[in-house]
Amino acid sequence: MRVNAGLEGIVVADTEISHVNGEEGQLIYRGYDVKQLARKITYEQVVHLLWKGDLPQQKEEDSWTKIWKEAYELTEEWIEFLKIIPKEVDMLSSLRSILATLDEPASPPTMAQAIKFLVSVPMIIAARYRLLQDLSIVHPRKDLSFAANYLYMLRGEIPSTAHVQGLDAYLVLTAEHGFNASTFTARVVTSTESDLISAIIAAIGALKGKLHGGAPLEVADMLEEIREVNRAEKWMREKLENREKLMGFGHRVYKTMDPRAEALRDVVQKNAKNEPWFQFAVQTEQIALALLKEYKPHRQIYTNVEFYTAAILKAIRLPKELYVPTFAVSRTAGWIAHILEQANHNRIIRPSARYVGCKDKK
Ligand SMILES: CC(C)(COP(=O)(O)OP(=O)(O)OC[C@H]1O[C@@H](n2cnc3c(N)ncnc32)[C@H](O)[C@@H]1OP(=O)(O)O)[C@@H](O)C(=O)NCCC(=O)NCCS
């Protein structure tokens, strides 16, 4: 019996949702290269693609937009519930608690029910964020897009077009990424014929771990510690000499530059190229890549999505404590796509383990 720790290299299902091509650095959502999608389509359109199999046609746009507009409703019950959650409870745990109180959509959910559920994620995060800041709650506006509404509910003012476009590009690029830990968790829960809300709550639990959702925070901390480009080489050499990792580099699947990192860098370059910190991030990246070649010549270590996630979220002035919750906002679309696919071709997921314990205790 051969053990594949971490299920690396094990194929457990067929999927039509996305393809991660690690050798060529390509990510495909239902036939479309994500690098072509970012900045061209909105999050609402990518959700249509992931859930329904293709981008909305012209004639479907109006009805699709209408379902989204009707979904926004921040209820007084949620606000009251958010108020009684102690301040020390972190954002993703608060999110899980509120989601657990929502009415369970039908199985399989209608598109309207699934969208209502999806938009509840940014509404809860924004409301919780404002309560923690002692600010009044901002209710969503039906005339704003998903990305604009999220920033509006956080800030209480209409965001700039550049910020909305930057956030939309981030949401599109991180909405889905194959059988990562949280998505796989959602599929395992669904495979037992459990409900959609339980599957999403379990996925959030997996995302919370620092090996999955927390890396952009670590990149932001690393860049803050380095501070100036002329300190970068010494700082990073010390880390590598101590056999520590440089945050924002390396990937289990991509053996070339992560396509999402490339696309995000282009977006930040467009919106913030004159910002000194952006020049600093790009120069630091180049120094890191040269050092990684020097220290790990036999490994293919390139920039990953988290490096430029930190840059784009900084460019749109999102506070650091919202980096991981905002990842949950985007990835909910991918989770729901996989929940629907798993439910449609279900077989309970039940791997085996090799027993290495004692067999003859008396
Ligand atoms: C993402 C990551 C976990 C992928 O891991 P992996 O493919 O399983 O590779 P491993 O952690 O086993 O590392 C393999 C080798 O590459 C090195 N390596 C990998 N990423 C590295 C990094 N960011 N900095 C320095 N060395 C790195 C390891 O030290 C190891 O070297 P060794 O062979 O001399 O021991 C890893 O690259 C990493 O921890 N990166 C930093 C954190 C990060 O950015 N995470 C977000 C991922 S999207």
State residue 103's pLDDT score: 86
Domain assignment of residue 353, yes or no: no
State residue 274's pLDDT score: 77
Are 80 and 221 part of one and the same domain? no
- Cα 247 to averaged position of ligand 1 atoms, centre (Å): 9
Are 108 and 121 part of one and the same domain? yes
- Cα 250 to averaged position of ligand 1 atoms, centre (Å): 5
Among 296, 309, 324, name the best residue to mutate to test ligand 1's pocket (greatest count of ligand atoms within 8 A of Cβ).
296
Which of 103, 47, 106 is CA-nearest to residue 75?
103
User: Is the pLDDT at 268 greater than 80, yes or no?
Assistant: yes
* 182-222 pLDDT per residue, tens: 999 999 999 999 999 999 999 999 999 877 887 788 899 99
Domain assignment of residue 98, yes or no: yes
- Cα 166 to averaged position of ligand 1 atoms, centre (Å): 28
Counting atoms of ligand 1 from 1, which one is nearest the CA of 243? Answer: 29
Domain assignment of residue 90, yes or no: yes
Kindly report the protein residue whose alpha carbon is nearest to atom 40 of ligand 1: 250
The mean pLDDT of 290-305, rounded to a whole number, is 95
Kindly report the protein residue whose alpha carbon is nearest to atom 22 of ligand 1: 245
Counting atoms of ligand 1 from 1, which one is nearest the CA of 258? Answer: 48
Using a pLDDT cut of 70, give the percent of the chain over it. 100
Domain span at residue 243 reads 217-316
User: Is the pLDDT at 344 greater than 80, yes or no?
Assistant: yes
Domain assignment of residue 307, yes or no: yes
Among 238, 249, 258, 308, name the best residue to mutate to test ligand 1's pocket (greatest count of ligand atoms within 8 A of Cβ).
249
- Cα 33 to averaged position of ligand 1 atoms, centre (Å): 26
State residue 318's pLDDT score: 95
Counting atoms of ligand 1 from 1, which one is nearest the CA of 249? Answer: 23
Among 219, 299, 302, 306, name the best residue to mutate to test ligand 1's pocket (greatest count of ligand atoms within 8 A of Cβ).
299
Please give the radius of gyration of the chain, using alpha carbons only, rounded to the nearest integer.
21
Kindly report the protein residue whose alpha carbon is nearest to atom 16 of ligand 1: 299
Counting atoms of ligand 1 from 1, which one is nearest the CA of 239? Answer: 25
Are 186 and 158 part of one and the same domain? yes
Are 221 and 302 part of one and the same domain? yes
State residue 277's pLDDT score: 83
Ligand 1: residues with CB < 6 A are 215, 245-252, 296, 299, 301, 304-306
User: Is the pLDDT at 19 greater than 80, yes or no?
Assistant: yes
Are 307 and 333 part of one and the same domain? no
Kindly report the protein residue whose alpha carbon is nearest to atom 42 of ligand 1: 247
Domain assignment of residue 7, yes or no: no
CATH of the domain at 99: 1.10.580.10
Q: Is the dihedral of CA 52, 190, 209, 290 positive or negative?
A: negative
Decide which of 280, 296, 316 is a domain's last residue.
316
User: Is the pLDDT at 334 greater than 90, yes or no?
Assistant: yes
Are 283 and 168 part of one and the same domain? no
Are 208 and 264 part of one and the same domain? no
**Per the structure, how many domains does the chain have?**
2
47 is written with which tokens? 């959700």
Are 147 and 232 part of one and the same domain? no
- Cα 251 to averaged position of ligand 1 atoms, centre (Å): 7
Confidence of residue 273 (pLDDT cuts 50, 70, 90): confident
Higher local confidence (pLDDT), 210 or 286: 286
Counting atoms of ligand 1 from 1, which one is nearest the CA of 307? Answer: 44
Domain assignment of residue 358, yes or no: no
Are 169 and 303 part of one and the same domain? no
Are 248 and 289 part of one and the same domain? yes
Domain assignment of residue 178, yes or no: yes
* 54-98 pLDDT per residue, tens: 999 999 999 999 999 999 999 999 999 999 999 999 999 999 999
Are 154 and 233 part of one and the same domain? no
Catalytic residues, by residue number, are 251, 306
- Cα 245 to averaged position of ligand 1 atoms, centre (Å): 6
Are 252 and 273 part of one and the same domain? yes
Decide which of 299, 316, 333 is a domain's last residue.
316
Confidence of residue 44 (pLDDT cuts 50, 70, 90): very high
- Cα 20 to averaged position of ligand 1 atoms, centre (Å): 18
Domain assignment of residue 49, yes or no: yes
